[in-house]
Structure 1
C-alpha cells in the first residue's frame, strides 16, 4: 500500500456487524484494504458473509463495530452529508421510489447534491447527465418510463444516476442480479470502461466470481474467519478462493481460474 497515495476509499481495522442489547455480532475479522483511483474491485463471499452490510458501512449508512472508513483520507463519520454526497455514490438493491419517472428524470436525481433549492439544472448538470446516459447506452430510451424497462435497462439507469452524481467513488450492491449472462457481462464491461475513461473507483458486490476474476483489478473475499484482498492473480496463487465454498461440492481450479462442480 503506497503511503503517499490518497485513496478514494480506505478501511482500517474495520469490523462490521450488529450490536445487540448485551453483545455484538461480528461478521468479519478486522478488514484492512484500500482502493486505488480508477480501479474496479469486486466484493465476494457466501450468502450471509456480510457483503451488503460492508457496503452500507463503507457508505456511512451503517455504524462499524470498530475501525475506520476513510474517503480521500477523511474519516467518513466526520464528513458532512453534503460533502459525502459529492465524494460517494451508492446503488443498493432496494427498488426506486417511483418507477413512473422517465430514465432521464431518474438520472437527473444524481445531480441533487449540486443543484439549487428548486432543483434547477445548470449547463454542467446537463452535461453530466448526458455523459451518464451515453456511458450507460441509454440515450435511445431516455424518455421511457422506468416501469417499462427490462431488469438490465433499469440497472443501467440506476448506475447512470450514480454516475451523473460525479463522485470519485461508486459502491454498487449486486448490480448484475436477475440478469442473464450476456447482460451481466455487459454491465461489468460498462463499469470497467467507466473506471478507465472517467477515472472512477468502483466497488461492487457480486456472486459472479468467475466474471470478477476476469474483469476486476482487485477482489475482496469476505469470510467469518479470514478475509483477503488483492489482485485476482495473487488471490489465485495464494489459494484465496480454495475454501470459499464447501470443497465436497465445489472446488476452485487454479489452472483455469474458475470454480467447478464436483460430480
Structure 2
C-alpha cells in the first residue's frame, strides 16, 4: 500500500527553539534547530537524559508550544493547519499507557482511523483495509482479537505503532518505541519501522537511547545537545565527531572506526 511521494518534505524545522516558560522565566533546552526529513526516511533523535527529546517530539506534534521558530508539515506552517488536517498529516506514539487495555488489538489499531470516520466512528471498506494493512505490517494478524492487557511489552508497542500506521499520515513521531524491550525485540521494532518507510513511503522520527542500533539502521540522526545540536547521516556524524562528546568520557567513548560506543576499562 505504497503511496506517491510528495516532493515537499513531510517535516521541516526552521530556527526552532524548544523549552519551557515558567512564571515569566524562559528555559531553552537547545540552540535553534534547523533540519528537514525527506519522504520515506527513518530518523532517530538521540541525546543524554534531559536533553529535550520528548519535549521536541511534543513540540513537533503541536502538543507543546515552541519558544520560537516554525514547524512545517508538508510545506505548511503547523499553526495554520486545522486539527482535522493535522491529524491527517502526522501521527504520534508517546510513552503514556493507553486509555483502556480491554480493547482488542484490532479495536486499538482501528482507533487510528478516527480522523477519517463519520461522527459515529463507522469504518468504511477503505478504513478496514488500512487497519488490516497496519496489522500485517506490524505482524499482528495472529493476535488481532486478543485484549491488549494480555500482550507483552513488545506486542503492545507494535500495536501502538500499527494504530499510528493505520492513521495513514506522511509523518510518524514515536517517543522511545523500544523502551523496556530486550535486544532482539528492540531490533525487531526498528527493522519493522525501517520496512514501513520503504514499503508505505512514510517518514518516521523516533527518540531512542539505542544509539548503536540507530547508527546501523537510520537514514538520519539528530543529536540534541544544550551546546550544539547536529543533524545528518550516521556516516557524516561519525566523520565530524558528532558522537565523540555526547557523553562524559570518564566511562564510555565513541570508537569512530567501529562506529559504536565502548566502555572504558
Q: TM-score, normalised by structure 1?
A: 0.98
- How far off its partner does 1:214 sit? 0.0
Q: How much has 1:147 moved relative to structure 2?
A: 0.3
Q: CA deviation at 1:249?
A: 1.1
Using the TM superposition, give the Cα deviation of residue 22 of structure 1 relative to its aligned residue in structure 2, in angstroms. Answer: 2.6
1:99 corresponds in structure 2 to 101
Aligned length, in residue pairs: 260
| Partner Cα separation in structure 2 for residue 120 and residue 145 of structure 1 | 21
Runs of 4+ aligned residues of structure 1 deviating over 6 Å after TM superposition are: none
**Alignment partner, residue 242 of structure 1:** 244
User: Please, which runs of 5 or more residues in structure 1 have no aligned partner?
Assistant: none
Please provide the CA RMSD for this pair.
Answer: 0.8
**Quick one: which of 191, 195, 198 aligns to 1:196?**
198
Q: What SS does the corresponding residue of 1:25 show, helix, strand or coil?
A: strand
SS in 1 for 2:88: helix
Is residue 70 from structure 1 mapped to residue 72 from structure 2 by the alignment? yes
Partner of 2:189: 187
Of residues 116, 128, 131, the one that matches 2:130 is: 128
Per-residue CA distance 1:59-94 (angstroms, 9 max, x = gap): 000000000000001111111000000000000000
Equivalent residue number for residue 79 of structure 1: 81
**Equivalent residue, structure 1, for 2:3:** none
TM-score using structure 2 length: 0.97
After superposition, the C-alpha distances for 1:81-108 in whole angstroms (9 at most, x for unaligned) are: 0000000000000000000000000000
Q: Displacement, 1:233?
A: 0.1
Looking at structure 2, the residues matched to 107 and 17 of structure 1 have their Cα atoms a distance apart, in angstroms, of 32
Pairs within 5 Å for 1:1-263: 5-263=7-265
How far residue 5 of structure 1 moved from its aligned partner, in angstroms, is: 4.5
